[in-house]
């Protein structure tokens, strides 16, 4: 019988708290050079806008005021953020799939949704 072989792998990770939750960070030399990914707040805002759009289209809620009451936020905020659900498909593809960070804040991104689809990509992605 041969002695069992043991292999130990050491990976230098650090644990940092982000938003109160632990996040495992790889070593600095392992980080991708292009770490400009889309912020989670942008992704959440777009997801929430699509959720609200689906609720309105399905008849689950009748008005923006209904959404505002159930979410306990202002109807003006819901109206402004709901515009994110109407961004051009090319813009959504670049933000959500390719993870290209928009050159605008969420508020400006919502305002850009009112532009024609042909112009949105230039304005949003720079």
DSSP 96: I
Q: At 98, is the secondary structure helix, strand, or coil?
A: coil
Contacting residues for 22 by C-beta, under 8 A, at least 6 apart? 15, 16
Question: Looking at residue 27, what is its pLDDT?
Answer: 67
**Count of residues in the chain:** 126
Under 8 Å between Cβ of 65 and 75: yes
On whether the pTM is more than 0.75, the answer is no
CA distance 34 to 38: 11
Question: Looking at residue 36, what is its pLDDT?
Answer: 55
> How is the chain split into domains, by residue range?
40-125
Question: Looking at residue 17, what is its pLDDT?
Answer: 80
Question: Looking at residue 84, what is its pLDDT?
Answer: 94
Tokens, residue 61 = 């809620």
Tens-level pLDDT at each residue, the chain (126 residues): 677 788 777 777 778 887 778 877 766 665 555 555 778 889 999 999 999 999 999 999 999 999 999 999 999 999 999 999 999 999 999 888 888 888 888 899 999 999 999 899 899 887
Question: Looking at residue 40, what is its pLDDT?
Answer: 86
Under 8 Å between Cβ of 67 and 96: no
């Amino acid at each position: 019988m041969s002695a069992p072989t043991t292999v130990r792998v050491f990976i230098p990770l650090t644990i940092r708290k982000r938003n109160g939750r632990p996040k495992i960070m790889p070593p600095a030399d392992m980080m991708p050079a292009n770490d400009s990914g889309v912020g989670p707040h942008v992704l959440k805002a777009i997801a929430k806008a699509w959720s609200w759009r689906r609720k309105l289209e399905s008849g689950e809620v009748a008005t923006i005021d209904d959404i505002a009451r159930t979410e306990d936020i202002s109807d003006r905020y819901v109206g402004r953020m709901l515009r994110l659900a109407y961004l051009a498909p090319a813009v959504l593809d670049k933000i959500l799939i390719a993870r290209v960070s928009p050159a605008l804040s969420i508020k400006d991104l919502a305002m850009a949704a009112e532009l024609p689809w042909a112009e949105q990509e230039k304005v949003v992605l720079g």
